[in-house]
């Protein structure tokens, strides 16, 4: 059985994959004029995490850590842009929301979680 924190992370990255796929669809149909690179990148990374975490694959855990670091970087970049636009309270809120990803990284790096991913990988 998958622990509930891993299930919540899987759900979170599933939402990101869905939003990325919807953005790709909008770009493909011509409804939005944006670069295609970033939605494709987020779709690939988030779909990989979404598949690897609930299967308790070690590569899924590593990909989730990398994706969370990318989310921290994106969140802090957005916070910087919001502050430069003259909205410091929203920038502070965006910065604080980045701690969610740091907590996810800390959870995935715990020895008990590493052992959980390692023990299921050896059983298969």
For residue range 30-86, what is the model confidence (pLDDT) as tens digits?
999 999 999 999 999 999 999 999 999 999 999 999 999 999 999 999 999 999 999
Q: What angle do CA 114, 58, 102 make, to 5 degrees?
A: 60
Distance CA 12, CA 46 (A): 9
Distance CA 40, CA 17 (A): 9
The pLDDT, as a whole number, for residue 67 is: 95
The end-to-end CA distance of the chain, in Å, is 14
Distance CA 112, CA 106 (A): 12
């Amino acid at each position: 059985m998958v622990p509930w924190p891993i299930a919540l992370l899987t759900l979170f990255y599933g939402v990101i994959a869905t939003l990325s796929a919807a953005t790709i669809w909008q770009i493909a149909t011509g409804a939005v004029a944006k670069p295609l690179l970033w939605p494709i990148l987020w779709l690939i990374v988030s779909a990989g995490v979404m598949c690897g975490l609930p299967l308790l694959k070690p590569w899924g855990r590593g990909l989730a850590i990398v994706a969370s670091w990318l989310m921290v970087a994106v969140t802090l970049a957005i916070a910087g842009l919001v502050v430069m636009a003259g909205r410091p309270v929203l920038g502070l809120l965006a910065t604080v929301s980045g701690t969610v990803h740091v907590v996810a990284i800390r959870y995935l790096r715990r020895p008990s979680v590493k052992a959980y991913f390692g023990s299921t990988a050896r059983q298969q």
